[in-house]
Amino acid sequence: MTSRRLKKHCRSIVRGVGLPQPFSVARLCHKLSAQRGRPLYLLPFPVLPTAGGPCGLWIATAESDYIFYEENTTKLHQEHIIVHEIAHMLCEHESPGLTEPSSFRAILPDLDPALVRRLLARTSYTNRQEEEAEMVASLILDHATRCAGPSTPDLARLEQVLGTRPSDA
């Protein structure tokens, strides 16, 4: 798929979501939880990222969705990780899932950290799926930024005078 076709495809996915207004990651998670008819849990995790390794993971079980995200990073980066994992959901990529209840318990903090790290390092997505998820996440976050109000009175005045937001220029 060409990058133009990929972007068009990803835009249609984002349009189909009906992003919450005003936008927040929490509101998006709540909306997706309601749409999917199952809880969506966001769980920070102290990952030690390796070069090229994932900073987040989405795991779907029969009853719930779990998104694990890097605990030791900025809030902005955490939100990007979460939205990237949500993008995998929206693109209907296969979650790595867990087939054994004992494996699922292993991702909880009070259990074996070595096993937890192995699960978080696991990925079954193709490069195309990663590109698709990253594009969807970027479009969602771009929308969130565009829909956010001006951050300062000076910026609000500038937007009023110019009749546009700087990101529209």
Q: What tens-digit pLDDT sequence spans the chain (169 residues)?
A: 688 999 999 999 999 998 998 999 999 999 999 999 999 999 998 765 555 556 888 888 888 899 989 888 899 999 999 999 999 999 988 876 554 444 455 455 454 455 455 554 545 566 888 899 999 999 999 988 876 655 566 666 666 777 655 444 3
The residue segments making up the domain with residue 115 are: 3-168
3-state secondary structure of 41: strand
Tally of domains within the chain: 1
User: Distance (Å, rounded) from C-alpha 155 to C-alpha 77?
Assistant: 24
User: Which of 52, 49, 32 lies closest to 41 in space, CA to CA?
Assistant: 32
User: Which of 8, 21, 31 lies closest to 89 in space, CA to CA?
Assistant: 31
| Model pTM score | 0.72
